[in-house]
A = this chain, B = another copy of it.
Amino acid sequence: MGHTFQMKRGFRLISISLKGFSQVMLMENAFSGGLILLGIFLYSPLLATMAFLSSMAGTLTGYYLGGDRAAVKSGLYGFNSLLSGMAVMLFLYVSWRWMVVPFVGCTAGLLMILFSKVFNKLHIPVLTIPFVLMTWIGLMLTYQIDGLHVNPSFVTASPTQWLIPYNGTPNFFVSLIKGVGEVFIIDSFWAGSLILLALFVAGWRYGVYAIAGAFISWLTAISLGVDVASLDLGLYNYNAVLTIIAVGLLFDERRNFPFVGILAAAMTVPVTAGMDHLINPFGLPALTSPFIISTWIFLIIRKFLPI
């Protein structure tokens, strides 16, 4: 009986850790999480394994160090951990980087506990702040410290290459799929497709909103005249996808036509350009910081404005 109980707990931990993957897209659905994990696995089995372990580490940290129980169950202590673990695997260029992942997963879980207590009082969601802060500080440490090195291929997803002279025809479909994958910092067609499928599995609204967000940011970026290469990499899309879901769906209790969400999605494009301009000289990528900034701005405005 104790054995059955143990197995039950094990299954529950796995289920919650999978939910963590769906929480990155602001959903709570273990099956969607599994589809996303499968997408990452097709890109790199090692990366997927470490991401899953990191999600577990964050969940256990949340559970045992006093995180909110309902939040633990919904996978909220996993998503920053798995993103941070993936960042370590992708950006850090030392052979023992996998050893850092569990530690990073726990720290992200701990930060999630601390930040939740502070932000909840202010009625502002934490979003991916622990992931972004930890990855930035980690990259800065790596630059400062002799023994650590940044992955040289890290530049592939970096907007320092935005101005590559490439003059093809922009392809919205490629841009959408790649953009959805860039939420998980990877550039993969299969991962993107499975993440998109996961969105529809969790609810048709998630899928439709994600496509709408990607399309709006794509149009905004084209009308501003960006180059096609970065458009096709989805670098202008992933923040808009997250932002339209956050502003238009998750934090909007009325579920009207997401006018404010569309505005917020369009705003991510200049905010992304601005963030890149400010932090690229320091060797830092924007990550999901434009999503955080745009979502916070619109949530704060909506608090004061009775729209």
B227 lies within 8 A of A276 (CB): no
Judged by a CB distance under 8 angstroms, whether A155 is at the interface is no
Q: How far apart are the CA atoms of A140 and B224 in the complex, in Å?
A: 12
Chain A, range 215-229, C-beta contacts under 8 Å to B: 224-227
Give this chain's copy count.
3
Q: What does DSSP make chain A's interface, helix, strand, loop or mixed?
A: helix
Complex interface: chain B residues within 8 A of A147 (CB): 224-226
Complex interface: chain B residues within 8 A of A138 (CB): 270
B305 lies within 8 A of A117 (CB): yes
Which residue of B is nearest A277, CB measured? B140
B278 lies within 8 A of A140 (CB): yes
Complex interface: chain B residues within 8 A of A224 (CB): 141, 145, 147-148
Interface string of A133-161 (1 = CB under 8 A from B): 00011101101111110000000000100
Can you report 27 residue pairs joining A to B where beta carbons are below 8 Å apart?
Answer: A114-B304, A117-B301, A117-B304, A118-B301, A137-B271, A137-B274, A138-B270, A140-B273, A140-B274, A141-B224, A141-B270, A141-B274, A144-B159, A144-B163, A144-B226, A144-B273, A144-B276, A144-B277, A145-B224, A145-B225, A145-B226, A146-B163, A146-B225, A148-B224, A277-B282, A281-B281, A281-B282
